[in-house]
């Protein structure tokens, strides 16, 4: 599991996650993810390379989203592969965590007033 920080601005942090968010995958990235997903900013995560997620990975996303929300920021996922998106939907996470089609949609959403 790999977490990469892409070119970012002072208002948007762009991250790329790739690999399987299983038990060992979450262990690999959770500390860095929690550190990067903070502050009064939009944290936009490219999920295109994520092949698996279960409740442990969802916990990591939910706790980052809660923290960002309380700090005036937000977490946005984009380019989520179908099987991963279905799992997020089944767990009811897409109701509290924005999942959009691609990077441009994520940028537009991040610019909207909350």
Partner 1 sequence: MGNCYTFKIKNNFPELELLCAEINEIARESNFSEQLLFSLNVCLEEMLTNIIKYGYDDNRPHDIEIRLEIDNEIMILTIIDDGHAFNPLEADAPDMKSDLQHRQLGGIGIFLTCKMADKLSYERKDNKNFLKILLAPHVAAL
d(CA 82, CA 95): 16
Residues in contact with partner 1, shown as a per-residue x/- string from 56 to 95 under the rule CB under 8 A: x-xx--x--xx--xx------------x---x--xxx--x
**35-68 burial, b for 16+ CB within 10 Å, e for fewer?**
ebbeeebbbbbbbeebeebeeebbebbbebbebb
What is the DSSP secondary structure assignment for residue 93, as one 8-state letter? G
Cβ proximity to partner 1, 6 vs 96, nearer residue: 96
To the nearest whole angstrom, how small is the minimum distance from the Cβ of residue 7 to partner 1? 27
Contacts with partner 1 by CB under 8 A lie at 22-24, 52, 54-56, 58-59, 62, 65-66, 69-70, 83, 87, 90-92, 95-97
């Amino acid at each position: 599991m790999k977490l990469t920080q892409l070119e970012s601005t002072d208002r948007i942090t762009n991250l790329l996650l790739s690999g399987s968010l299983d038990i060992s995958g979450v262990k690999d990235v959770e500390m860095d993810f929690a550190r990067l997903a903070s502050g009064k900013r939009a944290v936009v995560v490219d999920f295109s390379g994520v092949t698996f997620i279960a409740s442990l990975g969802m916990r990591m996303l939910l706790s980052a989203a809660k923290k960002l929300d309380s700090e005036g920021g937000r977490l946005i996922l984009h380019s989520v592969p179908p099987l991963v998106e279905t799992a997020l939907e089944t767990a009811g996470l897409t109701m509290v965590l924005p999942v959009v089609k691609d990077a441009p949609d994520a940028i537009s959403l991040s610019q909207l007033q909350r």
